[in-house]
Structure 1
Amino acid sequence: MIKKALFVRLEARPGKEHAVADFLDAGLEMTNREATTPIWFALRLSPTTFGVFDAFANEEDRQAHLHGSMAGALMARVDEMLASPPSVEPIDVLAMKNRLP
């Protein structure tokens, strides 16, 4: 059961929008290797603003993701790609629907 989540907002440096989009596209492979990250979305919110929403069964799994390869890869490229540090918002999931048509 999903109980915890994160929303991460990323603001690209001018001219780095494509690099952020490519990084997030590659992030799918990294998060697919994380057994404790069952739900992960990479989002484009505006031409320069991106986001990541991911969800977890519990706090331990959320912390594992925050200390995992995707987070490490992002933090290694913050100065290169982002106008400011990522905004990371922890979320408690109250209810969820997940059914494909």
Structure 2
Amino acid sequence: MISKALFVRLEAKPGKEQAVEDFLTAGLEMTNREATTPIWFALKLSPTTFGVFDAFANDEHRQAHLHGSMANVLMSRAAEMLASPPSIESIDVLGMKNQLP
């Protein structure tokens, strides 16, 4: 059962919008290697604002993701790509629907 999640907001530096978008697109491969990250979305909220939503079975899996390869690479490139540090919100999941047509 999914009970924990994260929402990360990323604001690109002027001229770095494509770099952030490319990073998030490549992030799918990194998160596919994380067995404890079953749900992951890369989002474009506006031309300069991006986000990541991911969900986990428990807090241990959420913490593993926060210390995993995707997070480490993002933090190593944050000063280069982002106008401000990532905004990371921990979320409790109250319910979910996951049904493909």
> Could you tell me the TM-score, scaled by structure 1's length?
1.00
User: Share of identical aligned residues, percent?
Assistant: 83
Q: Which segments of 5 or more consecutive residues in structure 2 lack a partner in the other structure? A: none
> In 2, distance between residues paired with 1:73 and 1:5?
20
Where do residues 16-95 of structure 1 align in structure 2 (5 Å cutoff)? 16-95=16-95
**CA deviation vs aligned residue, 1:53-72 (integer Å, no higher than 9, x gap):** 00000000000000000000
> In 1, distance between residues paired with 2:62 and 2:40?
12
Q: How many residues align?
A: 101
Runs of 4+ in 1 over 4 A off after TM superposition: none
2:6 alignment partner, SS class: strand
Q: Which segments of 5 or more consecutive residues in structure 1 lack a partner in the other structure? A: none
1:94 alignment partner, SS class: coil
Letter of the 1:8 counterpart: V
Letter of the 1:41 counterpart: F
> Could you tell me the TM-score, scaled by structure 2's length?
1.00
Q: Report the RMSD for the aligned CA atoms in angstroms.
A: 0.2
